[in-house]
Structure 1
C-alpha cells in the first residue's frame, strides 16, 4: 500500500482542502479521508462513507501528473500518518 496526501488550493468552503488516499498496487483507492477547512473529516472505504466522500472508480493518477496542476500539491505520507488521519475521521462520526 502507498499513502498519498494532496493539498487542494481553493476558496470553496464545501470542498476538502486535504485529501488522503490509501492506494493499492494498481493505484485504486482502498481508503480515503477528506479534510475540510472547518476541520470536518469525512471518510470512505469499501463498506462505509460519510458526507459526499467516496472512493474513485478509476486508478489515481501518478504523483507527477497531479503535481502538474497548480491547484494541487501532492506528497507521499507514511502509513502511520494516514492511520492517524483515518482514526480521527472515524472518531468524528
Structure 2
C-alpha cells in the first residue's frame, strides 16, 4: 500500500482542502478521507461512502503529476498517519450522525 496527502489550494466551502488516500499496488484508491475548510470530513472505502466522496476506479496519478498542477500539493505519508486521520474522520461522522 501507498499513502498520499493532497492539499487543494483552491478549496472552498464545498470542496475539500485536504485529501488523504490509501492506494493499492495497482495504483487504485482503496480508502480516502476528504477534509473541508470548516473541519467537516467525509470518507470512502470498500463498505462506506459519505457525502460526495467515492472511490475512483481510475489509476491514481503519480506525485509528480499531481504536483505539476498548481492547484495541488501532494506528498507521501505513512500508513500510520493515514489510519490516524481515517479514525478521526469516522469519529467525526459518528458525532454528526452520518454513520452509526
Cα shift at 1:23:
0.2
Q: Which residue of 1 aligns with 2:96?
A: none
Rounded to whole Å, the distance in 1 between the matches of 2:27 and 2:40 is 26
Gaps of at least 5 residues in structure 1 are none
Rounded to whole Å, the distance in 2 between the matches of 1:71 and 1:11 is 9
Q: Which residue of 1 aligns with 2:15?
A: 15
TM-score, normalization by structure 1:
0.96
After superposing on structure 2, the runs of 4+ consecutive aligned residues of structure 1 that deviate more than 3 Å are: none
Q: How does 1:1-93 map onto structure 2 within 5 Å?
A: 1-93=1-93
Count of residue pairs the alignment pairs up = 93
Rounded to whole Å, the distance in 2 between the matches of 1:11 and 1:19 is 11
TM-score, normalization by structure 2:
0.90
Greater C-alpha radius of gyration: 2
Cα shift at 1:59:
1.2
RMSD: 0.8
- 1:49-92 Cα shifts (integer Å, max 9, x gaps): 11110011201111111110000000000111000100011111
Gaps of at least 5 residues in structure 2 are 94-100
